[in-house]
Amino acid sequence: MAKVRIDKDKCKGCGLCILYCPVKKLEFSLDLNKKGVRYAKGKEDTSCIGCGNCYLICPDCCIEVYEDKKEIKST
Ligand code: SF4
Ligand code: SF4
């Protein structure tokens, strides 16, 4: 499963990543970052499909998209 990591203190709260996420995975935080803006963050209950739109659209390069490689342990 894909995941996103957002550098919250670099985020200027422009909302482009939220607007262009096709599965509405991103939202604004309720709290403020060091710049005093509500930053973008991933929703807990929505799956990221790893399309990379948010990574490409962010003007300040705040977002990383990566594959979550949890080890599956056999019994
Ligand atoms: S990679 Fe795609 S699906 Fe995942 S949060 Fe970014 S825009 Fe949304
Ligand atoms: S596009 Fe970048 S700067 Fe704009 S809200 Fe998203 S993470 Fe923040």
Q: Which domains does the chain possess? A: 2-67 (3.30.70.20)
> How sure is the predictor about 1, in pLDDT bands with cuts at 50, 70 and 90?
confident
Cβ of residue 1 lying under 6 Å from some atom of ligand 1: no
Cβ of residue 6 lying under 6 Å from some atom of ligand 1: no
Q: What is the DSSP letter of 51?
A: -
pLDDT of residue 48: 96
Taking only the tens place, the pLDDT of each residue in 30-50 is 999 999 999 999 999 889 999
Q: Is 69 exposed, middle or buried (0-12, 13-18, 19+ CB in 10 A)?
A: exposed
pLDDT of residue 35: 97
Taking only the tens place, the pLDDT of each residue in 9-31 is 999 999 999 999 999 999 999 99
Atom of ligand 1 nearest to the CA of 21: 7
Q: Which residue, by CA, sits nearest to atom 8 of ligand 1? A: 21
Ligand 1 centroid–CA 49 distance in Å is: 6
Q: Is the separation of the CB atoms in 30 and 41 below 8 Å?
A: no
Query: Does 71 score more than 70 pLDDT?
Result: no
DSSP-assigned beta bridge partners for residue 4 = 65
pLDDT of residue 11: 98
